[in-house]
Amino acid sequence: MAKQNIFKFLEALTANNSKEWMDKNRSWYEDTKGEVVDLFDPILEEIKRVDPRIVQPNARRAIGRINNNLMFHPDRPTYKDHFGVGFGYGKGLADFYVGLGVRETEIAGGLWHPDSERLKKVRMEIDYEGDKLSAILDSDAFNKSFELYKLDTLKTTPKGYPKDHEHIELLRLKTLAAFRQITRKDVYSNHFSEMVVESYLAIVPLLDFINTAITDN
């Protein structure tokens, strides 16, 4: 089963995380990457059908590099333990992501660790339109699938905002994103494509809120 082979390859790569092993198993990697493409091409096609703003032409262009960036993170392994597939609207914007990994398999979306300028714009939008964001996060569609990411948060109050601001907890966030933990059983199921598309539709209001903030301000 192609889906199971994806995880078998990642487990082998994680256990033998070196360029020497990858060079010997390059054809296995390429075959597995092709299986990821085959899995996500029809999913991307369906997402683009409901939202033509997505810019990736195919799943192959949406797959992230398997290599870790050792220049900035020399302590990391040579290779990642997952395949990451990202669908979005252009560089620097909030996007939609599916990760198939050894330790974590997830569906997620948002703006991860933005630079200070984009974070400033997001906070301005929360200040002006916090009720709108709260309504998105409180909606049944969002809560059915996603959990807000709260591990990247200021302990203090953002500069320029009062401590008693109505939306102070949202203003303290340094990453505005949400995630949905899934299992390999979910990936193996016949309903995986529907799950991903349903998740996209549930999170797109959050992506739109963020992208409005960083493009219109």
- CA 216, distance to chain mean position in Å, is 23
Q: How far apart (Å, rounded) are the C-alpha atoms in residues 10 and 102?
A: 6
Residue 6: give the domain boundaries.
2-216
What is the per-residue pLDDT for 1? 65
Question: Secondary structure of the chain: what % helix, strand, coil (to 5)?
Answer: 50, 15, 35
pLDDT in tens, 8-25: 999 999 999 999 999 999
The alpha carbon of 8 is separated from its chain's Cα centroid by a whole number of angstroms, namely: 22
Number of domains present in the structure of the chain = 1
Q: What is the DSSP letter of 157?
A: P
CATH number of the domain that residue 177 is part of: 3.30.930
Q: Residues of the chain whose pLDDT is less than 70? A: 1, 71, 216-217
Q: pTM to 2 decimals?
A: 0.93
